[in-house]
Amino acid sequence: MSLSREVGSGASQHRNVYDLVQSFIGLLSPDGTLLDANRSSLEFVGASLADVVGKPFWETPWWRDISNSRDAIRQAIRRGASGEATRFEALLSGKNGEVVNVDFSLTPVFEDDGTVVSLVPEARDITAFKEAVIALQASETRMRFACEVAGIGTWDWDLTDDQLHWDDRQFELFDVPRNGGEMLGQRAIATIHPDDHDRIAEAIAVTVESDLPFRQEFRVMHKSGEVRWLVGRGGILRRDESGKPTSMIGVNYDITERKTVERRLSQSNLDLEARVAERTRQLEREMHEHQKAQEALTHAQRLDSIGQLAGGVAHDFNNLLAVIGGNLELAAMRIADDQVKELIEDALEAVEAGASLNHRLLSFARKGSLEPALLDVNKRIENARQLLERTLDENITFEVTPAHNAWWIFADAGELDSAILNLAVNARDAMPSGGRLRIVTRNQSFDAADVRYIPGALAGEYVQICVSDTGTGMTPYILKNAVTPFFTTKEAGKGSGLGLSSVFGFAKQSGGFVTIESIEGEGTTVKIHLPRASSQSNGGVSKSSDNGVPLGRGELVLLVEDDKAVLSVTRKRLMALGYQVIEASTAAGAINLLETGGPVSLIFSDVRMPGDLSGYDLAKWAFDNLPGTGVLLTSGYDASEAGDQQTGLKQTVKLLSKPYSMNTLAIALRDALELPTHEP
C-alpha cells in the first residue's frame, strides 16, 4: 500500500473518533511513519496534519527537543513492529517551548493472520498529577517544618478506644512523660487546670455530638507548678457506617506569652484611653481653628482657579468663534440665496454675542480636518475665477472648459479651492515668460484595468479636474518627487514644497487620486479625480454680491497661528480677500521662514503661542530685521491685557481681537500694509 493511500485510509477511518478524544492519539505505519493524528495532539504543537504526516514519528514536533523520549519512541516502534505493546512515562514537547509529562503507550494493530498492520500511539497528560504528587510531598514537608518552628503539637484521638496519638511537641506542652507516643484521652484532660476542666470536657462533647469545630483556650498545670496557657483546635476526622464520629484530629500551641502581654496591654489601654481622650479634645480645638484657616485658603484658591480656567476657556472659545465666524462669512460670500444669507447673518450676530461674553470672562480672569459637502465643481471654479485671474500674470492666457452636466462631488469646498489655486500658482511659476493655463472638467468612468497602475486608485465614477500649462515642464527626477512633502525646485522663499503634496493628500483623503503628466520644455498636466457623489441637492454655492470689503492685491502674508482650525479658516479668509499665504505655527518657525525665505508684505500672527517667543517677540524681531514689513497681531485674550506686552517695542503694533469679522480683518490688513514703517 502506498504512503498516500495509507494516509487517506487512516484519515477516513479514524478522523472523527480521534478529534473527539482529548488525549493525544495517532496512527503509525509499522516502520514508525506518522499516518494520522487527532486534533488535540496537533493543537498542542501548533501544527497542521499536513505538517507532520509522512514523517518518522520520532522526528515530529512532539519529540523535537527531548532526546531521551525520541530514543524511547524508536525502541517502542521496533517492539511494536514485532507485535509487542509498550507503555512508559515520557516528556512531550509543545508549542512555545511547553513540555508536559505523559503516560505514553504504543499498541500494535494486527491482521487476522497476526501481521502487524499499524501502531496506535496514545499519550495522556499526567503533568497535573505529577505536579500534585510533588506539591503534596512539599506541602507535608512544609507543614511538618512549620509545626516544628511554630511550636505546634499535633494529635489524633481514637474515640473508640480513647487512644491519643501525640507527636513529641504535645508531650512537652502538657508536661507528660513519653510512653511510646500514645496515651489515653482522659489522662490528657486530667492535666488541664481545674478551673478549665469542665468547660473543656463540655466543648469536646459538643464537638462530638454536634459536629462543631473545637476551638478553646485553657490552662495546664506543669509538675513544677507553672501554669501555661494553650490553644486547642480540632474537629471530627472519621465516622463509622452509621455516621457516628470515631476519631478527632487537631493541634495545640502555647499562648502563655500572649496572655501575659494581653494583661499588660489591658492596663496600658486604660491609661492610654485617658490620655487619648484628653488629646482628642485638644486636637478638636486645634482642628477647628485649622479648618477655619483652610476654608479661607480654599476659597481664595478656588477663585484663582476659576479665573485661570475662565481665561483659558475664553481664549480657546475666541479661537472657536473665529473659526465659526470666519466660515460663516466665507459661506455668505459664496451664497446668493437671501434667505440663507439672513440665517448666516443671525449666526454671525450670535458669534458677536459670544465674543462679548468672552470679554466679560476675561475681565473676571484678569488675563484641519475636512468638512465635506455636496459640490458643483464647475460652480466652484467659476466662483474662484476672479481670484485665479488676479493670481496670474498678464502674459498668461487663462481658459476654463467646464463639462456639460458635470457630476457632483462630495468634498471639502475650501480644500478644493485651495487645491485649484495651488495648481494655478504652480502653473504660473512654471511660465515666467507667459503661456496658457487651462482648466478642464469632465466626467470619467474607470474600470479595474484603467486604474491598475495607479497606487490606491479604485474603479468607479469620477469628476476629473484637469489643470494644464505650457510651462517649463519637469524632468523625470522632479516628476518622481513632485508630490513629496517639502520637495521644491523654486528659489528659497518662493515655495514651501507642500503645494502638490497637499493637493495629493486632499484627493486621497476625499477618496480620489491625482495623476501628473509632464514633458520637459512643453508643460505639465495635473489631473485631480474626485469620486462622484451618490446623490445631489439643489443647493450648491453661489457667488455673493459685492459687499465692499477691501481686497488684497496679491500681497504675500505670513500667517503665524498654532491653532490648526484658526489657521485653516484664516488662510481661507486671506485667500478670499486676495492675498497669498505662507504659514508657520510658532514665532520661532516664522523667524526661521523669514530668514531662509523671500520677503513678505505682512506678518499676521497670534500673540500667545507654544515656545519661548510670543507674537510681540516676533513683531520686535521684524521691526529690527525687516523694517519694510507690516505687522498685524491678533489674540483671543482681551486686547488691553495683551497690549501690556508692547512695552519696549519701537513701533506701535495694531492688535486685532478674536473673533473678528471679514470686513474688520480686511480693513486691519490694509491698515497694517499701508502703515508707515520706520527704521529701528
Q: In the prediction, which pLDDT does 453 show? A: 81
Question: Who has greater pLDDT, 447 or 322?
Answer: 447
Least confident interval from 244-258, 569-583, 644-658: 644-658
What is the pLDDT at residue 296? 38
Q: Is the pLDDT of residue 307 over 50?
A: no
Cα–Cα distance for residue pair 490/497, rounded to 1 Å: 8
User: Which single residue is written with the C-alpha cell 462679548?
Assistant: 356
Least confident of 218-227, 246-255, 354-363: 354-363
- What gap in Å lies between CA 47 and CA 30, rounded to an integer? 23
Q: List Cβ<8 Å contacts ≥24 apart for 192-195.
A: 192/218, 192/219, 192/220, 192/221, 193/218, 193/219, 193/220, 193/221, 193/227, 195/219
* 129: its cell numbers: 498529577
* Pairing verdict, β 460-469 and 523-531: antiparallel
Beta bridge partners of 25: 122
Integer-rounded Cα Rg, in Å, for the chain is 46
Distance CA 155, CA 253 (A): 11
Give the C-alpha distances (Å, rounded to integers) separating 574 from 466, 550, 670. 25, 11, 12
Can you tell me whether residue 174 is helix, strand or coil?
Answer: helix
- For 112, the 3-state DSSP assignment is coil
CA distance 490 to 493: 8
Q: Does the pLDDT of residue 356 top 70, yes or no?
A: no
What confidence category does residue 633 fall into, taking pLDDT thresholds of 50, 70 and 90?
A: very high
> CB 113: neighbour CB atoms within 10 A?
6
pLDDT tens for residues 186-236? Answer: 788 888 899 999 999 899 999 988 888 999 999 999 888 899 999 999 998
User: pLDDT grade, residue 12 (50/70/90)?
Assistant: low
Q: Do strands 182-184 and 163-166 pair parallel, antiparallel, or not at all (unpaired)?
A: antiparallel
Instruction: Compute the distance between CA of residue 416 and CA of residue 388 in angstroms, rounded to an integer.
Output: 13
Rounded Cα distance between 365 and 478, Å, is 54
Rounded CA-CA distance 261/673 in Å is 92
| pLDDT band at 354; cut points 50, 70, 90 | low
Cα 238 to Cα 240: distance, rounded to the nearest angstrom: 7
Higher pLDDT, residue 319 or 579? 579
Q: Which of 97-101, 186-190, 191-195, 438-442 has the lowest mean pLDDT?
A: 186-190
Does residue 93 contact residue 41 with C-beta atoms inside 8 Å? Answer: no
What is d(CA 329, CA 552) in angstroms, rounded to the nearest whole number? 17
**pLDDT greater than 90 at residue 106:** yes
SS3 42: helix
Cell numbers found for residue 276: 487619648
Block residue for cell numbers 492685491: 553
What is the residue-averaged pLDDT of the chain?
Answer: 80
Higher pLDDT: 59 or 548? It is 59
Residue 498: per-residue pLDDT: 62
pLDDT band for 392, please (50, 70, 90 cuts).
Answer: confident
**Tally of CB atoms within 10 A around 16:** 9
Question: What integer pLDDT is reported at residue 497 of this predicted model?
Answer: 59
Most confident of 136-140, 307-311, 407-411: 407-411
- Strand order of the β-sheet with 163-166 is 182-184, 163-166, 153-158, 245-254, 227-239, 214-221
H or E stretch including 18? helix 3-20
The stretch 501-515 carries a mean pLDDT of: 84
Nearest in space to 560 (alpha carbons), one of 516, 605, 502, 610: 605
Give the separation between CA 185 and CA 187, rounded to whole angstroms: 5
pLDDT of residue 322: 67
Q: What is the pLDDT of residues 166-200, one digit of tens each?
A: 888 888 898 888 765 567 877 888 888 999 999 99
pLDDT digits (tens, 9 = 90+) for 275-300: 888 888 888 877 766 665 465 344 33
What pLDDT was estimated at residue 68? 85
Q: Contact, 608 vs 635, CB < 8 A?
A: yes
Cell 515655495 belongs to which residue?
Answer: 495
State residue 308's pLDDT score.
Answer: 54
Give residue for cell 506541602: 139
Mean pLDDT of 523-529: 93
User: Cis link prior to 659 (omega < 30° from 0)?
Assistant: yes
What is d(CA 183, CA 158) in angstroms, rounded to the nearest whole number?
Answer: 11
Count of residues in the chain:
680
Confidence bin at 652 (pLDDT 50/70/90): low
Could you tell me what percent of the chain has a pLDDT over 70? 80
d(CA 141, CA 372): 75
Q: For residues 453 and 343, which has the higher predicted lDDT (pLDDT)?
A: 453
Look at residue 215 in the predicted model and tell me its pLDDT: 93
Between CA 233 and CA 255 the distance in angstroms is: 13
Instruction: Copy the grid coordinates of residue 617.
Output: 517677540
User: pLDDT band at residue 302, thresholds of 50, 70 and 90?
Assistant: very low
Q: How high is the pLDDT of residue 15? A: 62
Confidence of residue 657 (pLDDT cuts 50, 70, 90): confident
C-alpha to C-alpha distance for 575 and 604, rounded to whole angstroms: 13
Q: What is the pLDDT of residue 604?
A: 95
Per the model's pLDDT, the better-predicted residue between 141 and 435 turns out to be: 435
Considering only residues 478 and 544, tell me which one the structure prediction assigns the higher pLDDT. 478
- In percent, the amount of the chain with pLDDT more than 90 equals 23
Q: What integer is the mean pLDDT of 392-416?
A: 89
Confidence check: pLDDT of 138 > 60:
yes
The pLDDT-based confidence of 494 (bands split at 50, 70, 90) is: low
